[in-house]
């Protein structure tokens, strides 16, 4: 704001000096004054026209798990009772760059580093006959999460093309660390859906008063990546340099803002409905033709509702999601028959999966006028989740793919862009007819940031 004022003042002084130089009289005509005012208004408008946006978010987490890390803990749970381990993690670090070209054209891009990214190095081993060895020093992922160009025809019609966020459910649509209380994203949707789900496609979206809509055309999922405890989570990944699009899918989302009154808009309450459908079986290079699979399409159908309320120091948000996979038994048989060196998970996959979770938090700093004026916040929260990646299956069911979780914790925001989180979580795994699984509690601490800056 100071920069804008300085520019405006400079323009006024400059034009006034020009007037004095051209005419010894210090008087200014009405027409000259109007021209001067218009030029000043034009300069002020240009100073306010911020086109470049930089930003991002990130999280650093320490977590102490009071259960075993051994994958065999579900086959023989009695052998792994009483064990624990700790972990340090950078779940997500994202960098955002956006640019407004003007005339309704806009660019947005986001690069995400998950779990610290990937660190690889080439080493020369002299004592092994001068061999060159490539070693991975750190696991993780680097992904282009968003890269799209948008043309806005009006607030009610915006056409977007490129790498898009697929806003099915609550977590994919609202995945920044200031949109959930826990140290990690809510586990249910994170487990059974791609998260953050992003795909190359087309999108038409817009908003009118209390209603916002989104429609997307996307490539279909790959059923050979479906798994027992993850359902379709890995189905949007591609091991190739491009994304297979032999089959297509569609998404629709409606966001309602019921507290809208007249010309005034309030986002304090949001209720959202979203749905996804698309075939998945033939979106692969693997041979799928033949009499045994001629009628198999692997149609994936997902329906979800999510909501958010903010007001009077309270935040209440959550989501419920249910998904169905046609031909799940045939897909399980096909995947398990693939060779070991294939990229398939070679696992049974369920026909149905669900996730439901909600969280409630109260900001105690709203009771203190001084802290409220400083825009500091201190939330005490509770969250409950229930999900099952194998809710219905005709083949082999993995009972440990479903569980319930209860979390208690705090969120402290010394400034709006920084969040310090602490959480205790207790997890109960679904009961098996033959086994009693150990509970999986943990405590976690994290610090996160989120910010956008315009230039």
- In terms of domains, do 6 and 35 share one? yes
Q: What is the token pair recorded at 41?
A: 């208004």
Residue 44 falls within a domain, yes or no?
A: yes
Residue 124 lies in a domain: no
Position 246 pLDDT exceeds 80: yes
Read off the pLDDT of each residue in 27-36 and give the average, rounded to a whole number: 61
Is 133 inside any structural domain? no
Q: Are residues 9 and 70 in the same domain?
A: no
Evaluate whether residue 14 is within a structural domain: yes
Query: Is residue 248 domain-shared with residue 177, that is, in the same domain?
Result: yes
Residues 41 and 154 in one domain: no
**Whole-prediction pTM:** 0.85
Q: Does 123 map to a domain?
A: no
Q: At what angle do helices 30-48 and 2-22 cross, to 10 degrees?
A: 150
pLDDT tens digit sequence for 318-331: 999 999 999 999 99
Q: How many domains does the chain have?
A: 2
Is the domain of 305 the same as that of 336? Answer: yes
Range of the domain at 17: 1-49
| pLDDT one-digit tens code per residue, 340-349 | 877 788 899 9
Share of the chain above pLDDT 70, in %: 82
Q: Are 63 and 443 in contact (CB under 8 A)?
A: yes
Q: Domain check: are 296 and 331 in the same one?
A: yes
Q: Which of 38-42, 45-49, 285-289 has the lowest mean pLDDT?
A: 45-49
What is the arithmetic mean of pLDDT over 289-301?
86
**Per-residue pLDDT tens over the stretch 173-222:** 999 999 999 999 999 999 999 998 999 999 999 999 899 999 999 999 99
Per-residue model confidence as pLDDT tens digits over 384-412: 999 999 999 988 889 999 999 999 999 99
Q: Residue 362: what pLDDT? A: 98
For residues 300 and 316, is the Cβ–Cβ distance under 8 A?
no
Q: Give 43-83 pLDDT, tens digit per residue.
A: 555 556 779 999 999 999 999 999 999 988 999 999 999 99
Mean pLDDT of 352-372: 95
Q: Based on the domain organization, do 67 and 10 belong to the same domain?
A: no
Task: Compute the average pLDDT of residues 240-249.
Answer: 84
pLDDT in tens, 113-142: 988 777 665 555 444 445 555 556 566 778
Pull the structure tokens for residue 193.
């859906």
Quote the CA–CA distance of 149 and 146 in Å, as a whole number.
10
Q: Is the dihedral of CA 326, 331, 333, 334 positive or negative?
A: positive
Domain membership flag for residue 270: yes
pLDDT at 199: 94
Q: Supply the CATH number for residue 99's domain.
A: 2.40.160.10
Dihedral pair phi/psi, residue 10, rounded to 5°: -60, -40
Q: How confident is the model at residue 36, as a pLDDT?
A: 60
Tally of CB atoms within 10 A around 317: 22
């Amino acid at each position: 704001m100071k920069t804008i004022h300085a520019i405006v003042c400079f323009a006024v002084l400059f034009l006034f000096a020009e007037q004095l130089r051209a005419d010894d009289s210090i008087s200014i005509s009405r027409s000259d004054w109007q021209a001067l005012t218009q030029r000043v208004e034009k300069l002020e408008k240009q100073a306010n026209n911020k086109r470049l946006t930089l930003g991002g978010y990130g999280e650093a987490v320490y977590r102490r798990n009071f259960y075993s890390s051994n994958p065999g803990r579900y086959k023989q749970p009695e052998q792994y009772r009483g064990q624990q381990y700790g972990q340090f993690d950078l779940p997500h670090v994202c960098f955002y760059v956006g640019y407004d070209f003007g005339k309704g054209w806009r660019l947005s891009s986001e690069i995400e580093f998950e779990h610290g990214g990937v660190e690889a190095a080439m080493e020369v081993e002299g004592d092994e006959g001068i061999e060159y060895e490539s070693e991975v020093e750190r696991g993780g992922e680097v992904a282009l999460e968003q890269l799209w160009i948008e043309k806005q025809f009006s607030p009610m019609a915006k056409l977007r093309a490129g790498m898009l966020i697929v806003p099915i459910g609550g977590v994919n649509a609202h995945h920044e660390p200031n949109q959930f209380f826990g140290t990690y994203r809510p586990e249910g949707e994170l487990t059974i859906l791609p998260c953050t789900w992003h795909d190359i496609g087309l999108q038409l979206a817009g908003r009118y008063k209390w209603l916002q809509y989104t429609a997307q055309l996307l490539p279909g999922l790959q059923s050979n990546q479906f798994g027992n405890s993850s359902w379709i989570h890995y189905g949007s990944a591609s091991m190739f340099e491009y994304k297979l699009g032999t089959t297509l899918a569609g998404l629709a989302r409606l966001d309602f803002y019921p507290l809208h009154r007249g010309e005034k808009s309030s986002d304090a309450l949001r209720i959202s409905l979203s749905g996804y459908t698309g075939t998945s079986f033939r979106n692969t290079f693997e041979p799928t033709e033949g009499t045994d699979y001629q009628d198999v399409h692997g149609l994936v159908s997902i329906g979800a509702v999510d909501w958010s309320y903010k007001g009077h120091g309270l935040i209440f948000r959550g989501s419920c999601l249910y998904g169905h996979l046609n031909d799940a038994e045939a897909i399980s048989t096909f995947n398990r028959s693939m060779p070991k060196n294939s990229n398939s998970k070679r696992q049974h996959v369920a026909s149905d999966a669900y996730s439901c979770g909600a969280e409630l938090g109260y900001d105690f700093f709203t009771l203190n006028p001084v802290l409220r004026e400083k825009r500091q916040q201190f939330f005490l929260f509770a969250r409950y989740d229930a999900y099952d990646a194998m809710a219905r299956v005709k083949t082999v069911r993995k009972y440990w793919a479903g569980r319930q979780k209860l979390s208690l914790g705090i969120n402290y925001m010394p400034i709006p862009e920084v969040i310090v989180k602490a959480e205790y979580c207790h997890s109960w795994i679904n009961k098996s007819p033959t086994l009693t699984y150990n509970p999986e509690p943990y405590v976690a601490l994290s610090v996160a940031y989120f910010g956008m800056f315009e230039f």
